[in-house]
């Protein structure tokens, strides 16, 4: 089966549409959470994910909008974006967010927003941070989001680790890998220095993961964010990619 793996859309409709166009006809979309928060189109993004019948988990921003987690540790602009998002969202779309699980298991992978140890909050950005998740991973692959940076961390059968940034167009052959944690990057708010929307394709038959980056109309999103009164830092980060 061919999966389109996306994460951290953050209410960025232009980026999501550009990714879906570039993705082409995949058989299933896997969405790793944070559909909302930061950007100007939360309802539209939720409706697309629901209509596409994506396999989807909840992220910390989705849960913050639902009032299910304490967001006092969020930066000020993140908190303001959550409050603005809640004021905009239709009840049926909040109900969809409420229905999302914290983990998805399918084929040879698990999907989660943060980590398997702490699904909503823990970042995996280094080998050290990956160890607790590898320790409880009972599938070959774990797709994660949350850090907004594309990467792969591998663990071999001897227990040695290897970490790599994933670049546009890069392919990873999973067939000889013992276990791997893969981050597809962020659709709607990249933070790896590349402002293009990021996603990956996973062919579970050929066992190939391929990272892709795609340009989208950043200025249109920024204009909508200005009109909505969202913070200038959140607007600026779309141009710089972090």
Yes or no: say if 100 and 9 are a contact pair by the CB < 8 Å rule: no
Q: Mutual orientation of helices 232-240 and 76-88 as an angle, nearest 10°?
A: 100
Nearer to Zn ion, 7 or 130 (CB): 7
Tell me which stretch binds Zn ion (CB under 5 A): 5-13, 72-80, 122-130, 221-229. 5-13
Nearer to Zn ion, 4 or 190 (CB): 190
Tell me which stretch binds Zn ion (CB under 5 A): 6-14, 23-31, 134-142, 224-232. 6-14
Q: Please report how close the Cβ of residue 60 comes to Zn ion at its closest, in angstroms.
A: 7
Say how far apart CA 76 and CA 78 lie, in whole Å.
5
Give 40's contacts (C-beta < 8 A, 6+ positions apart): 11, 12, 13, 221, 224, 225, 227, 228, 230
**Residue with CB nearest Zn ion?**
34
Yes or no: say if 195 and 240 are a contact pair by the CB < 8 Å rule: yes
Q: Please report how close the Cβ of residue 186 comes to Zn ion at its closest, in angstroms.
A: 6
Q: Please report how close the Cβ of residue 178 comes to Zn ion at its closest, in angstroms.
A: 28
> What part of residues 10-49 is at the interface with Zn ion (CB under 5 A)?
34
Nearer to Zn ion, 8 or 192 (CB): 8
Tell me which stretch binds Zn ion (CB under 5 A): 3-11, 15-23, 40-48, 94-102. 3-11
Say how far apart CA 59 and CA 55 lie, in whole Å.
13
Query: Contact between 192 and Zn ion (CB under 5 A)?
Result: no
Nearer to Zn ion, 7 or 93 (CB): 7
Nearer to Zn ion, 44 or 203 (CB): 44
Q: Please report how close the Cβ of residue 188 comes to Zn ion at its closest, in angstroms.
A: 8
The radius of gyration computed from the CA coordinates of the chain, to the nearest angstrom, equals 17
Nearer to Zn ion, 2 or 69 (CB): 69
Alpha helix positions (H), the chain:
13-23, 42-51, 60-65, 76-88, 91-98, 127-136, 218-228, 232-240
Say how far apart CA 117 and CA 129 lie, in whole Å.
10
Query: Contact between 122 and Zn ion (CB under 5 A)?
Result: no
Nearer to Zn ion, 112 or 174 (CB): 112
Yes or no: say if 10 and 189 are a contact pair by the CB < 8 Å rule: yes
Say how far apart CA 133 and CA 129 lie, in whole Å.
8
Q: Please report how close the Cβ of residue 148 comes to Zn ion at its closest, in angstroms.
A: 6
**Distances 213 to 5, 19, 20, 227 between C-alpha atoms, Å:** 12, 8, 12, 27
Query: Contact between 8 and Zn ion (CB under 5 A)?
Result: yes
Q: Please report how close the Cβ of residue 161 comes to Zn ion at its closest, in angstroms.
A: 24
């Amino acid at each position: 089966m061919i999966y389109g793996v996306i994460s951290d859309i953050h209410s960025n409709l232009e980026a999501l549409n550009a990714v879906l166009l570039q993705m082409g006809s995949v058989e299933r979309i896997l969405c790793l959470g944070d559909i909302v928060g930061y950007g100007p189109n939360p309802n539209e993004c939720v409706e697309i994910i629901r209509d596409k019948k994506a396999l989807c988990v909840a992220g910390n921003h989705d849960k913050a909008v639902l009032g299910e987690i304490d967001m006092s540790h969020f930066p000020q602009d993140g908190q303001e974006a959550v409050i603005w998002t809640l004021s905009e969202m239709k009840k049926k779309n909040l109900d969809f967010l409420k229905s999302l699980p914290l983990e998805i298991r399918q084929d040879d992978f698990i999907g989660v927003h943060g980590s398997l140890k702490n699904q909503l909050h823990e970042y995996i950005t280094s080998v050290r941070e990956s160890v607790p998740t590898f320790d409880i991973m009972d599938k070959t692959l774990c797709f994660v989001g949350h850090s907004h940076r594309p990467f792969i961390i591998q663990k071999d059968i001897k227990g040695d680790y290897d970490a790599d940034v994933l670049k546009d167009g890069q392919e990873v052959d999973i067939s000889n890998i013992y276990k791997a944690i893969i981050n597809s990057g962020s659709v709607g708010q990249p933070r790896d220095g590349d402002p293009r929307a990021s996603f990956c394709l996973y062919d579970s038959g050929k066992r190939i993961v391929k990272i892709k980056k795609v340009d989208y109309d950043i200025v249109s999103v920024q204009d909508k964010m200005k009109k909505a009164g969202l913070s200038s830092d959140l607007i600026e980060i779309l141009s710089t990619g972090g």
